[in-house]
Amino acid sequence: MLNVLRVHLPSDIPIVGCELTPYVLLRRPDNSITTDDVPESAPLDGFYLRYKWYRIQSDKKVAVCSIHPSETATLQCLGCVKAKIPVAKSYHCSPRCFSDAWQHHRVLHDRAASAVNENGTEEEELFGRFNNSGSGVINTSLSNSTSSIGHSSSLNNGSAPLYPATVTERNGGETWFEVGRSKTYTPTADDIGHVLKFECVAVEAESKLPVGHVNTILTSRVIPAPSPSPRRLIPVNGVDVIGHLDSNGRTASSETFTVLSYNILSDAYATSESYSYCPSWALSWPYRRQNLLREIVGYRADIICLQEVQSDHFEGFFTPELDKHGYQALYKKRTTEVYGGNSYAVDGCAIFFRRDRFTHVKKYEVEFNKAAQSLTDAVIPSTQKKAALNRLLKDNVALIAVLEAKFITDRRQLLCVANTHLNVHQDLKDVKLWQVHTLLKGLEKIASSAEIPMLVCGDFNSVPGSAPHALLAMGKVDPMHRDLEVDPLGIFHSDRKLTHKLPLVSAYSSFARLGVGLGFEQQRRRMDPTTYEPLFTHCTRDFIGSLDYIFYTADSLTVEALLELLDEENLNSAVSHLEQDVNATRTGFEEILFCELFSSINQVIHGGRIKLRLFNPPGVSLRNPNAIYLYHAIPFFLFFFIFLFILFLGKNHANACLI
């Protein structure tokens, strides 16, 4: 007989939109132990498993705190009601909660008021992309649900049409509604504030009768998924971008495009050991993936660069989901696996681009392990090769894509996009620098074959002013740089020049270099005045600083707008209230930092969105570098001949006067 030994949930706090997948341990008729499902369609020795989900509703009305969603609300912000901010954001569990959250909360009021003045229809623009449905108040009286009561044989919650809730039992002011009959269940807005019950039992296939004990689990009350506070693109020319978007969320200029970079934190690394201050439900992949997708899709970037994307998540989640939104995918996984508790996983770098904006021309893969092998064979003595490889082989990779712009029709316009995630260990400064140098040399080879604009995105695990950052941003590293003191392999000797010829500029430095007009003083206060980089793109309990960048070639691209930066004080305030975090939003920059807080305690930011404009001379072939020089030489020769002609006329005129 089939026996259910144990049933439990990875987290007992259910979140709206995040699939619940119970862990079910079985003993087969042959006494073997398994966690494999035994559905009715494929019974095992005449038995299968039957699942049911129930919503337990009280006749009382319940309001949920927007800051501490596991707490009942006791007060409401009337300013939110007047501003037509989603009502779920207006509830707080105590005066202290409201007071502590005010600095972050008032941003919602300011944005709503600003959007009303500019657009007149602020709610969809500011909240529609990321907000969850549901009012935040749960009316649990039976009269609200009886209109849909009725028995259905297909309560599958997601794979079947909308279910009619079935009243199973009513007892002492509580009503049980059957809401699902599959192993998994995804809570909806109707479930907010209610307890869910899961039942699992072995059933005899012939009689359809249960056998053995019915295993049950009761969850905590369902809470709404935190949604990020809205952030806007700040144009470097001072003209507000919001309110001037096309139907696809892009600005109207014909030769502009947007780029997003985001370290999404691999599930293999999102462990309770590493993030002990985060609750298990906030670390779970079913919860985080929904927030990540909502955030990424919400920015509607033309090009998306993601780091720490697990190969199974790339194939099974991101590729099919982003395909629905018109994106084509490219991927390069790391060269080793990481043990993630129950199984091995491997992460890597992914590039997504909109099929209606770009076509794929070519893909390059950079494996730093192979480069390390070549380096040691060339310059490291044989007696030191083993030690050198132990230091250099870190399995990091980079993905390079050459794309062709469809939105430029008067010429063939190519674009090279590089995405990488460098070694994380802070004591391996020489390895990071070598990886950056290796990547740049590869990009130089691509640039030498064609005049092609370039983007270099990623998590470089290097702070502003470090040697890797200096090499990227300045094109060289000072021989006296302190990071060069760490060179146990001797690979940065004077005969090995740490330079490159790509005219790379950090995108966010535009705030300091070019920004004028509205909001720029505020953005500059959020930047390091010496390096022109954001004060932070990564925020955890142990580290706050910038590790993530988007670089572009300044001779062929110019920044038009940047996603606004976060304020550390607001972030810390937000995080202190939500002591639960991880990607409720993260980033916008590697830092999509979305903080509605969540994604804040984690890496938080990893991500960035920028808007760029191409300005290659029209009519110049990118595959013929000499055409560039010819293009610039034409005005010179034209001016020279005009000068000779004027000189000739002037001489004749002088002679005429003498006569």
Three-state SS at 505: strand
Three-state SS at 628: helix
Residue corresponding to tokens 């927030």: 291
Q: What DSSP designation does 251 have? A: B
Measured distance CA(214)–CA(4) in Å, rounded = 8
Does pLDDT of 126 surpass 80? no
Helix and strand totals (H; E) in the chain:
15, 29
Q: Take residue 455 and report the two structure tokens written for it.
A: 């983007």
- Of 326, 320, 299, 322, which is closest to residue 129 (Cα–Cα)? 299
**Band (447; pLDDT cuts 50, 70, 90):** very high
Instruction: Report which of residues 127 and 506 the model is more confident about.
Output: 506
- Of 165, 194, 195, 191, which is closest to residue 180 (Cα–Cα)? 165
Q: What is the pLDDT of residue 594?
A: 23
In this predicted structure, which of 16-20, 154-158, 345-349, 408-412 has the lowest mean pLDDT?
A: 154-158
Does pLDDT of 150 surpass 90? no
> Residue type at 14?
P
* pLDDT tens digit sequence for 260-317: 999 999 999 988 888 887 877 788 888 889 889 988 998 899 999 999 999 999 999 9
Q: CA neighbours within 13 Å on the CB side: how many for 622?
A: 22
Q: Take residue 298 and report the two structure tokens written for it.
A: 């919400």
**Band (227; pLDDT cuts 50, 70, 90):** low
| Residue 385 near residue 335, CB atoms below 8 Å | no
Dihedral sign of CA atoms 98, 234, 351, 263 in order: negative
* pLDDT tens digit sequence for 604-616: 333 455 666 665 4
* pLDDT tens digit sequence for 492-530: 875 668 999 999 999 988 877 765 555 677 788 888 888
Q: What is the pLDDT of residue 392?
A: 94
Instruction: Report which of residues 119 and 3 the model is more confident about.
Output: 3
Q: Which residues pair with 303 in a beta bridge?
A: 259, 353
Measured distance CA(178)–CA(336) in Å, rounded = 45
| Residue 299 near residue 338, CB atoms below 8 Å | no
Q: What is the pLDDT of residue 364?
A: 97
Q: What is the mean pLDDT of residues 138-160?
A: 43
Any residues with CB less than 8 A from the CB of 1 and at least 6 apart, and which? 29, 45, 47, 202, 211, 212
558-575 burial code (b ≥16 CB/10 A, e <16):
bbbbbbbbbbeebbebbb
Q: What is the mean pLDDT of residues 468-491?
A: 92
SS (H, E, C) 265-325: CCCCCCCCCCCCCCCHHHHCHHHHHHHHHHHHHHHCCCEEEEEEEEHHHHHHHHHHHHHCC
Integer angstrom CA distances of residue 119 from 299, 514, 518? 18, 27, 17
Candidate ranges 232-241, 334-343, 535-544; pick with highest mean pLDDT: 535-544
End-to-end CA distance of the chain: 125
| Residue 552 near residue 504, CB atoms below 8 Å | yes
C-alpha gyration radius of the chain: 29
Q: What is the pLDDT of residue 649?
A: 53
Does pLDDT of 398 surpass 90? yes
Q: Take residue 519 and report the two structure tokens written for it.
A: 């909001």
| Residue 177 near residue 166, CB atoms below 8 Å | yes
In this predicted structure, which of 2-6, 55-59, 190-194, 446-450 has the lowest mean pLDDT?
A: 55-59
Does pLDDT of 658 surpass 60? no
